[in-house]
Amino acid sequence: MTDQRREAPRERGPLWSKLTAPISLRRLATRLLLLAISSSVSVAAGELVLRSSASRNTTIRMVCGGPGTVAESYDRIAYLPLLLSTVRIPAAPLQSWNGFVLNSKGFRTPEYRPAKRPGTLRMVVVGDSFAFDSGTVPYPLHFLTLMEAELSRALGRPVEIVNLGVPSCGPALQKRVLALEGLRLQPDLVLWTFFVGNDFTDPLAPRRETARASSGCSLCSLRLIEFFRELRNVEFREPADLGGGGPGTYHGDPAQYDPDLPTFARRRFLEIQAARMGIYDQRRFPERAWKALESVLAEGETLCRRAPVPLVVVVIPDENQINPQLRAEVLAELGRREADYDFDLPQQKVRDACDRYGWSCLDLLQAFRSGGDGLYTLQDTHWSAKGNRLAADVISRYLTRSGLLVGGSST
């Protein structure tokens, strides 16, 4: 008969007895309360540390800062990559963007050197997504690419256009790009593109902060969490993904561009356009934002005057202003009449400021109103290839006739 031995139970210590002992509801509630208090104290301490750091550190302030801190933060940023990282959709260096490999600084323009080539006229352009890529328009069909060839032909000498446009940004950031990068390139002319559709309403705040403000979030810690969540959604490409081209080169196929392929669903597009109608309403016009924007433009003009280099402000119309069918749909959506609005009001504000300060200003509104259909990509907020061609023709003709691009600084 086999001798079967039973293993004696292991001795359990006093800690095990405490952990497995029944816990009364009162003791459980006390422990949960202490846990909640300690967690709240930790969060409060972390919030105090973040707020204290934000008062001294520009990077943290850009992520956590509230209204009124952004313009000051832009002006205190002295490092171009940090400035460009503050936009909602940062364009990373060497990223392939609709067939174009962004240059080593993250701009959709060929590689450039601080010094111009002898005999070349150099134009620096600052602006938002219209300057950057006009939505989905291929690089060879973009108005700045077309202008470079047209102006070289008309002036009888090489013209180099350095495109420092940044997507998803407002005029305050554009002014800082001009200060940090544009003017150090010793341009013969600065072209500042201003889009009335959104530059009136967000001149000081990057879109990421505007979204945070609208959600009512005031805790730096929650804003920091949201920042990292957004960062996860940004696609950064390594140099191995260049698609066959080097930095600042185009390797796409313009034939694949289809202006009739909608960017947004119709409902979403109408919502975007309806949200912009306040800039045409005398009673709802964002005067406070316009005064801030006017100040930003004045500071940019002062930078150019001190350089010295001529500055031209190009005013880009919204599709609401030139497309009667779209305008009728938006008005029906809002339950308003066309007589309730002045669709020339935004341009009039900019022209008056330019006249008052003596700035050179080119308003494209009338040219686009008489330019026919199909000037904007379907259900998009940007020009189509046809709209880019029209803009290139009008701006090139203006610069040629005005004599502003003459290369007085160097040859």
Give the tens place of pLDDT for each residue, 265-286.
999 999 999 999 999 998 888 8
Identify the H or E element spanning 362: strand 360-363
Distance CA 201, CA 157 (A): 39
State the pLDDT at residue 209: 38
Q: What are the phi and psi torsion angles at 369 (to 5°)?
A: -65, -30
Separation CA 159–CA 148 (nearest Å):
6
Residue 54 contacts residue 64 (beta carbons within 8 Å): yes
Residue 299's Cβ-count burial label (10 Å; 0-12, 13-18, 19+) is middle
Which backbone phi and psi does 387 adopt, to 5 degrees?
-65, -40
Which segments of the chain have a pLDDT < 70?
1-24, 50, 53-72, 202-245, 407-411
Nearest to 322 by CA among 193, 198, 203, 196: 196
Give the pLDDT score at 74: 83
Q: What is the pLDDT of residue 88?
A: 76
The whole-number pLDDT of residue 217 equals: 46
* pLDDT the model gives residue 62: 52
Q: What is the CA 363 to chain-centroid distance, rounded?
A: 22
Instruction: Identify whether the C-beta of residue 180 lies closer than 8 Å to the C-beta of residue 113.
Output: no
Alpha-carbon gap, residue 387 to 398, rounded angstroms: 17
Residue 253 burial (CB count, 10 A): 10
Give the pLDDT of residue 21: 57
Global model pTM greater than 0.95: no
| Token pair belonging to 5 | 């031995």
Judge contact between 384 and 374, C-beta under 8 A: yes
Buried b (16+ CB within 10 A) or exposed e, 199-220: bbbbbbbbbbbbebeeeeeeeb
193 half-sphere exposure, CB direction, 13 A CA radius: 30
Which domains can be identified in the chain, with CATH numbers? 89-204+239-402 (3.40.50.1110)
Q: Is the CB of residue 123 less than 8 Å from the CB of residue 160?
A: yes
